[in-house]
Amino acid sequence: MRVLLIRPPAHHAIEAEVPAAVRQENVSYPPLSLLAISSHLKRYTRHAVQILDGLVDGMSYPALQREIETFAPDVVGISAYTLGLVDVQRTVAAARSAKVPRVLVGGPHVNDFPVESAALPGVDAALRGDGQATLPAVLDALAEDRPIDGLPGVVPTGSRPPPGQVLSPRYSGNLDDYPLLDIRAIDYSRYYDLLGGGGLFTTIVTSRGCPYRCTFCNTPRDRFASMSPGRICDEIEDKLRLGIREVYFVDDTFNITNDRVWGLCEEIVRRRLTFTWTARFRANGISRDLLRLMQRAGCVRLQVGVEQSTDAALDILQKDVTVAEIRSAFRLCREVGIKTVAYFMIGTPAERTRADVMQTIDFSIDLDPDFVMFNILTPFPGTRLFEQGIERGVLEPEPWEAFIRSPSPGFVPPVWSEFFDARELAEMLALAYRRFYFRPRVIWRNTLALASWHEFTQKVRAACRLIV
Ligand code: B12
Ligand code: SF4
């Protein structure tokens, strides 16, 4: 079978949490999910696989259709995010117009909304779980003209199946078993990191899920799995051979345990792997010794989820971290010389007055990270926060349900509107960025750190969009 795996463009992405200005500059990461699937299919099956990344090219739909026609696949597999659902539909339509016999969807949206995904017009089947664990059997069946209903991970179409039956997703228990990502399957030179140094770059995921319980997050809690340090270093070594020198570990939380980070850094140092890296961290458990070892292993920057400025607010979000731990983490990073990006949320159930939000902004300045990212909190279906919103009458399930049944570009995800409306939150978001970044000290520091003219123009563009 000829299989084309597609990451849809983002022409109609629904804006939520992350300001569009930041997202637009942030979409230049490689399509990890499709790379993982294609590497697996190439290694273990005889199907001919190609990846089409509509996102990196900002590809138009006529161009996408032409690309599909050129490859002439038997099967198209589309990766679906909930906020990208309108583009998923347009991509399905393009595949249909290109006369592709079978159109499948998979990815985070299908994992969260399996029945609704299987009912999307033009979709032949929705597959739940890791594509590596579902697609091989499905492709073999299609190649032999056998039915795919009932195969593991295949969501039945039509009437709602009994709860739990066939809907349970398929996941691998051991991430080490998956083959190394064959990044040569895409033009990897086109991907970059806005905050990076401008060298060849890639993202890598080394774990799945997170056992913490933050109310605003629905990352798989019970399925946490991690690759071994040896497997991660094999992946890195493979990418270094291609000239890649910058890595962003995009795991939900890289330091679920310090032992994991410690073991990986020791292995990187032992193998003398020379590259710089950055990762997403929680503030608790960060020690000076750990940071020093991480720095020896190439760590140059950490993105840390701070979210709020008081212990009471952090408790409401069940963040399981204290302000003292956050302060200590940022102080130690500055002391050791690792740069920081602090993530904050505006419009949480803990921010009842404008003064509360100003306190969050003041804290971001006081903490003195190198960069900040403010998001407007958007309660997603499937999170504890969403349930709390419904229980307290702050949120209605209907707007989301309508969008998921019938995606339209005009959808505006409801915010936590108990204390502020969306307009007030947007205004305070812009204020937060202005107050943090338009300080002489920050402008000077960031200008000194710029690596190139390209980087400068990129950042100025992003900053202008943010402020506007
Ligand atoms: C890394 C990551 C990112 C990175 C992506 C970096 C990169 N591409 O290099 C960044 C930071 C950019 C990012 C951004 C966003 N992310 Co994100 N991200 C993740 C994270 C932590 C891991 C995803 C990953 O790469 N996993 C490893 C790869 C190998 O596996 P995978 O993506 O899970 O894909 C597997 C299956 O889903 C399936 N699959 C995927 N596609 C397909 C297609 C077919 C046909 C089949 C059969 C199977 C299949 O097989 C894959 C391989 O096993 C997940 C959380 C999590 N733990 O899953 C959230 C997650 C995917 N992100 C999420 C969200 C909401 C976003 C944003 C929309 C946030 C925002 N408000 O802007 C943006 C949008 C990104 C975009 N597409 O435009 C949600 C998605 C929820 C949903 N229902 O859509 C998740 C689940 C987190 C959460 N629980 O809230 N993200
Ligand atoms: S620590 Fe991060 S990934 Fe883990 S539950 Fe909280 S927000 Fe989600």
Letter string b/e over residues 385-423, b meaning 16 or more CB atoms within 10 A of that residue's CB: bbebbeeeebbeeeebeebbeebeeebebbbbeebbeee
> How much is the pLDDT for 456?
52
Could you tell me the domains of the chain?
2-155 (3.40.50.2300), 192-378+415-467 (3.20.20.70)
| Mean pLDDT computed over every residue of the chain | 91
Amino acid 452: pLDDT: 54
Stretch 421-448: mean pLDDT:
85
Q: How far is CA 147 from CA 107, 153, 156, 163, 230, in A?
A: 22, 14, 12, 22, 40
- Mean pLDDT in residue range 438-464: 63
> Which pLDDT band holds residue 199 (cuts at 50, 70, 90)?
confident
* 80 CA: nearest ligand 1 atom: 41
pLDDT for position 442: 74
Among protein residues, the one with the nearest Cα to ligand 2's atom 3 is: 252
pLDDT at residue 162 greater than cutoff 80: no
- What is the Cα–Cα distance from 205 to 12, expressed in whole angstroms? 26
**Smallest CA separation from ligand 1 atom 3, residue:** 250
Unique residue bearing structure tokens 């637009």: 24
User: What mean pLDDT comes out for the span 151-171?
Assistant: 68
Ligand 1 proximity of 135 Cβ (cutoff 6 Å): yes
More confident site: 219 or 342: 342
pLDDT, position 223: 80
Share of the chain above pLDDT 70, in %: 90
Residue 354 · residue 348 · CB < 8 Å: no
At residue 60, the 3 state secondary structure works out as coil
Mean pLDDT, range 135-144, rounded to an integer: 97
**Which residue, judged by its Cα, is nearest atom 8 of ligand 2?**
217
**Which ligand does the CA of 281 lie closest to?**
2
**pLDDT band, residue 454 (cuts 50/70/90):** low
Point out the least confidently predicted range of 106-110, 198-202, 464-468. Answer: 464-468
pLDDT bracket for residue 161 (50, 70, 90)? low
Q: What is the mean pLDDT of residues 300-310?
A: 97
The pLDDT score that the predictor gives to residue 453 is: 52
Residue to substitute in 14, 81, 215 for testing ligand 1 pocket (most ligand atoms within 8 angstroms of CB) = 81
Q: So what's the pLDDT on residue 26?
A: 53
Res 197: pLDDT: 79
| Closest ligand 1 atom to 153 CA | 47
Which ligand 2 atom is the nearest neighbour of the CA of 210? Answer: 4
Query: What pLDDT was estimated at residue 266?
Result: 98
pLDDT, tens only, 202-217: 999 999 989 999 999 9
Q: Is the CB of 130 under 6 A from ligand 1?
A: yes
What is the three-class DSSP state of 341? strand
The predicted model gives 402-422 an average pLDDT of 95
Rounded distance from Cα 253 to ligand 2 centre (Å):
7
Smallest CA separation from ligand 1 atom 83, residue: 109
Q: How far is the CA of 294 from the centre of ligand 2 (A)?
A: 21
Q: What is the pLDDT of residues 314-336, one digit of tens each?
A: 999 999 999 999 999 999 999 99
> 220 CA distance to ligand 2 centroid (A)?
10
Task: Answer whether 389 contacts ligand 1 (Cβ < 6 A).
Answer: no
Q: Is 383 in the pocket of ligand 1 (CB under 6 A)?
A: no
Model pLDDT, residue 450: 58
Q: For residues 91-102, give the mean pLDDT.
A: 98
Q: Tell me how far the alpha carbon of residue 148 lies from the centroid of ligand 2, in angstroms.
A: 35
pLDDT tens profile 13-54: 998 766 665 555 555 899 999 999 999 999 999 999 999 999
Nearest atom within ligand 1 for CA of residue 105:
45
Q: Which of 17, 205, 208, 210 to mutate to test the pocket of ligand 2 (most atoms within 8 A of CB)?
A: 210
Which tens digits make up the pLDDT trace of 50-86? 999 999 878 999 999 999 999 999 999 999 999 999 9
State the closest ligand 1 atom to the C-alpha of 191, by its place in the atom list counted from 1: 9
pLDDT for residue 349: 97
Q: Of ligand 2's atoms, which has the minimum distance to the CA of residue 252? A: 3
pLDDT at 440: 75
Q: What is the pTM of this model?
A: 0.93
Distance from Cα 138 to the centre of ligand 1, integer Å: 22
